[in-house]
Amino acid sequence: MSSLSARNLTLLFWVHFFGTISFLQPVLTLFYVKNGLSEANILVLLICWSGAVLIGEIPTGVFADRFGARVSLLTGSIIKLCSIGILLLANSLEMFMLFSVLNGLSVTFFSGADEALIYESLKKDNKQQKMDEAMGKIQSAGFIAMMIAVLFGSFFARDLEQEQFQLLILLSMVSYIVEFVLLFFIQEPSGKVNIPGTSIENVLEGVRVIKQAPRLLVMFMNVTLVFIPTVAVFQKFDQPLMIGSRLPVYFIGPVYAVGALFAFFSSRSIGMLNKNLSYSVLMYTSGLLSAFGLLLAALFQNQLWIILFLVLFLRWVGAIRYPIYSKLSNNIIPSHVRATTISLLSILDSLFDLVIFLLLISFAAEGIQGILFGGAAVALIGSVLPIQQREKLRSKPINQ
């Protein structure tokens, strides 16, 4: 790689490292429960988060395409820092909802902008075929951060006291300040900011790309319908599952750390996996096994060893699926509307989030088990949708 791609990928590795550290994460659901939130309330927070993403994706995607990825990432970093600060004062469902809204909005400034920056940096060096490996390596930074954060967080919050939670929140904020500083050193590929056409034209172009590439939309649905129940939902309830199966709080961190270690090595060996198995086989197999895993969790939620295995397995699955999808989808999307198109797909993701979370609220009367049964059905539907690899779409101007 040339100096530009090497520089940006190295910086983004550390940005992702400090930006994904959450010392509260290993006890976040327990923190919610300690503050009086129910399973249905937690799903409401997920709905608030997804609603913010839904509203913010198009404006922030256009913002990234027009003003550059670095400005977009810096803006998102500031909003994320503010959202975490709200947790220091949160003592009601409304304040937790505000946290979720701001946190979701912050994600939209990263969504599309980071992938576009990575792809364009690689493309500048004619290395875009390495997109999956680059995404896997950058994603692996999050798993390293998780290993550190979960071990520390679960140990220091072992008594589930409010003072312990506050310490973890403050430490997370320090990490996000470091992320913010690192983002100033990002160097954008030359010519990326000067995008032809108006913002509306770029949105219409992104819509055209999706309409003319049904394989992109179906592949996206495969990924998101598996991701929502196995990551967005299961990882919000795996803490009470582990505690309910008699695992001490301070052991949650080591369990997450082992899962992060598995995911780390998987993210950095996607190219090797592809030498033995096609991307289609990897996606189908991992999706079907994920659906089966949620079913097992629902049926054996009091069996500690089964729950521990599923916590580790589903984290591993999440680590390999997204880098594969990222490469296949970015091979289709034209460069000048890459961030906008990715953001449009994220809007669809948020719509699916809202529909599925609302659906699962109806299962929440049966507790976590009902939620897991519903999630297994959704993941099964997503896992059988086709994965195809085709040529990149050719872009053409939008008729005004």
Query: In three state form, how does the secondary structure of 104-142 look?
Result: HHHHHHHCCHHHHHHHHHHHHCCCHHHHHHHHHHHHHHH
Length of the chain: 400
pLDDT digit string, tens, across residues 348-378: 887 888 889 889 898 888 888 999 999 999 9
- pLDDT value for 391: 46
pLDDT computed for residue 242 by the predictor = 93
Q: So what's the pLDDT on residue 64?
A: 79
Q: Give residue 288's pLDDT band: very low, low, confident or very high (50, 70, 90).
A: very high
Residue 186 banded pLDDT, cuts 50, 70, 90: confident
Residue 1 is predicted with a pLDDT of 40
Asked if 252 contacts 24 with a C-beta cutoff of 8 angstroms, the reply is no
Each domain of the chain, given as residue ranges in start order, spans 3-186+214-383
> Minimal CA–CA distance to 96: which of 176, 149, 38?
38
The pLDDT value given to residue 338: 63
Residue 304 pLDDT more than 90? yes
Give the model confidence (pLDDT) of 72-98 as tens digits. Answer: 899 999 999 999 999 998 889 999 999
Whether pLDDT at 215 is above 90: no
pLDDT of residue 194: 40
Q: What is the pLDDT of residues 94-151, one digit of tens each?
A: 999 999 999 999 988 887 677 778 777 777 767 766 776 777 778 778 778 878 888 8
Q: How confident is the model at residue 221 (pLDDT cuts 50, 70, 90)?
A: confident
Q: What is the mean pLDDT of residues 6-16?
A: 85
**With 60 as the cut, is the pLDDT of residue 389 above it?**
no
Which pLDDT score is estimated for 192?
A: 47
Query: What confidence tier does 188 reach under pLDDT thresholds 50, 70, 90?
Result: confident
Q: Which residue has the tokens 């394989």?
A: 215
Percent of the chain with pLDDT over 90: 29
- As to burial, measured by CB atoms within 10 angstroms (0-12 exposed, 13-18 middle, 19+ buried), residue 146 is buried
Dist. CA 338–CA 323, nearest whole Å:
16
Check residue 95 and give its pLDDT: 94
HSE toward the beta carbon, residue 239, CA cutoff 13 A: 23
Lowest mean pLDDT among 130-134, 171-175, 313-317: 130-134
Angle between helices 3-20 and 113-124 (to 10 degrees): 160
Residue range 251-275: mean pLDDT, rounded: 78
Question: What's the chain's average pLDDT?
Answer: 81
Query: Under CATH, what is the fold of the domain 3-186+214-383?
Result: Growth Hormone; Chain: A; (1.20.1250)
Dist. CA 209–CA 119, nearest whole Å: 17
Is this prediction's pTM over 0.75?
no
